[in-house]
Amino acid sequence: MVPLVECCRPMSDSQHPTVTGFRFGATACGIKPDGQLDLGIILAEDAVSVAGLFTKNRVKAAPVVLSMQRVERGRAQAIVVNSGNANACTGAKGMEDAKVITSIVADELGVADDMVLMASTGVIGQPLPSERIEQALPGLISEARPDRIDDFARAIMTTDRWPKVSSIKFPIGFEKEVTVLGVAKGAGMIHPDLATTLAFVLTDAPMHSSFLQRALSTAVDRTFNRLTVDGCTSTNDTIIAMSSSAVDSEPLRGSDRDARRFIDALVDVLGELGKRIVQDGEGARHVIQLEVVGAPSEDAALKVAEQIGRSMLVKTAIWGRDPNWGRMMAAAGMAGVAFDPDKVEIKFGKVTVVRDGVAVGREAEDEARRVMAEPSYRVQIKLGPGKAKATYLFCDIGEEYLRINASYRS
């Protein structure tokens, strides 16, 4: 992930702005127990530019298939999202439910059905309680407001410990200011592509859907596709971006300065959301920024980083604050990348524990344990004399992850 640019820094949770042209709604319709928020909606005042990226899992949920088809037209006006039920592996009934729900929203807004997208998250294989959703939709729409992003963020959560929202304001054109606002859910089943999550990005920057699609793909490749929690991908991964183009300026296109600023802002917003997802990690206690350097190519560096980041043996060692660098060496050797093990160097923070492929010594490992006590830290692995590098976010895994997933359907 790239560092934050000076003009674009994510805002704290208490500072999130509204985005001209969008409203958010949230309600409890009874999918989740105990009256928890479980249904959300994003509404645009008019048809807006839209782009999307979706799971590459061959098993796709009904709302994914439906939204993939509708995003292709490049225009949309609403996204309805439910949590607590994935509506995946539910057959023809699941698709019919998704179509009926989006049709009701379309009727309420007075637009065509294909202007409404849908996303779902939760347990796979259970019928969607569609009647509960249908009954809640009129009130959900009528009560939507520009300032209800935090309620929406809570409505899309499943095993998340906290909502995930990030935003940026930055200048474009002649004294114009635009906003990029992102919201996501995710804690488990996190791995490229798309980090196995739901995420939604709203902006008032002016652009056509073709540019928005390119910008979203670029930003996701630099953020959500470079992090992992448990190496699992889902049936429901969805990232949708919408632009109201409310700011009166020339549409962003190509690689001009304002277009680059927008992509940088999008990278920063998605990067912050990705970091919060990994921090959540269904009980994670440590977030590691893994940097693989000295590689023959960026692709090679990414392959090594991903192999290490998804290793259960590495993750449990991180949980136990054990600088077991041998597990990292072994994982790197499984990545299918050519390197000389006798040239490898490994650092935990600023502490070198491996030099020329062998241990520096017990004292260095003791220092590394102190680094590993921090909630987040950097690990650098130098493969050799190459010039390429890549970064990757991952977290530890321990008892809490096992407890959550052993009882997920209970």
Model confidence at 109: pLDDT above 70: yes
The answer on pLDDT for 22 being more than 90 is yes
Q: What is the Cα Rg of the chain in Å?
A: 22
Q: Span 212-223, mean pLDDT?
A: 96
Residue 409 has what pLDDT? 61
Residue 392: pLDDT over 70: yes
Per-residue pLDDT tens for 23-41?
999 999 999 988 999 999 9
- Banded model confidence at residue 191, pLDDT cuts 50, 70, 90: confident
Higher pLDDT, 408 or 131: 131
What pLDDT score does 4 carry? 33
Whose structure tokens read 């200048």? 171
Distance separating the N- and C-terminal Cα atoms of the chain: 37
- What is the average per-residue pLDDT within 351-378? 97
Residue 2 in this model has a pLDDT that exceeds 70: no
DSSP state of 76: E
Q: Which is more confident, 107 or 7?
A: 107
Please say if the pLDDT value at position 9 is more than 50.
no
Is a pLDDT exceeding 80 seen at residue 14? no
How many CB atoms lie under 10 A from the CB of residue 147? 11
Does 210 have pLDDT greater than 70?
yes
Q: Is pLDDT above 50 for 331?
A: yes
Segment 131-184, tens digit of pLDDT: 999 999 999 999 999 999 999 999 999 989 899 999 999 999 888 999 999 999
Average pLDDT of the segment spanning 300-315? 95
DSSP single-letter state for residue 252: B
- Contact partners, residue 289, CB within 8 Å, separation at least 6: 376, 377, 378, 379, 391, 392, 393
For 43-65, the pLDDT digits (tens) are: 999 999 999 999 999 999 999 99
Place of tokens 């560092």: 3
Q: Cα separation of 216 and 230, whole Å? A: 24
Q: What is the pTM of this model?
A: 0.89
Q: Which residues pair with 199 in a beta bridge?
A: 184, 239
**Catalytic site residue from 90, 121, 196, 391:** 196
pLDDT over threshold 50, residue 326? yes
Looking at every residue in the chain, the average pLDDT score rounds to: 92
User: Is-catalytic flag, 228?
Assistant: no
User: 245-304: per-residue pLDDT in tens?
Assistant: 999 999 999 879 999 999 999 999 999 999 999 888 777 889 999 999 999 999 999 999
CA angle (399 as vertex; 394, 404 as ends), nearest 5 = 85
CA dist., res. 237 & res. 225, Å (int): 12
**For range 396-407, the mean pLDDT:** 77
Name all domains of the chain by residue range, CATH numbers in brackets. Answer: 13-280 (3.60.70.12), 287-406 (3.10.20.340)
DSSP 14: G
| Residue 410 pLDDT greater than 60, yes or no | no
Q: If you ran DSSP here, which 8-state letter would residue 119 be given?
A: E
> With pLDDT > 70 as the criterion, what percentage of the chain qualifies?
95
CA–CA distance from 407 to each of 1, 208, 401 (Å)?
34, 45, 10
Q: For position 282, what pLDDT does the model report?
A: 76
In this predicted structure, what is the pLDDT of residue 6? Answer: 36
Predicted local distance difference test score (pLDDT) of residue 12: 46
The length of the chain is: 410
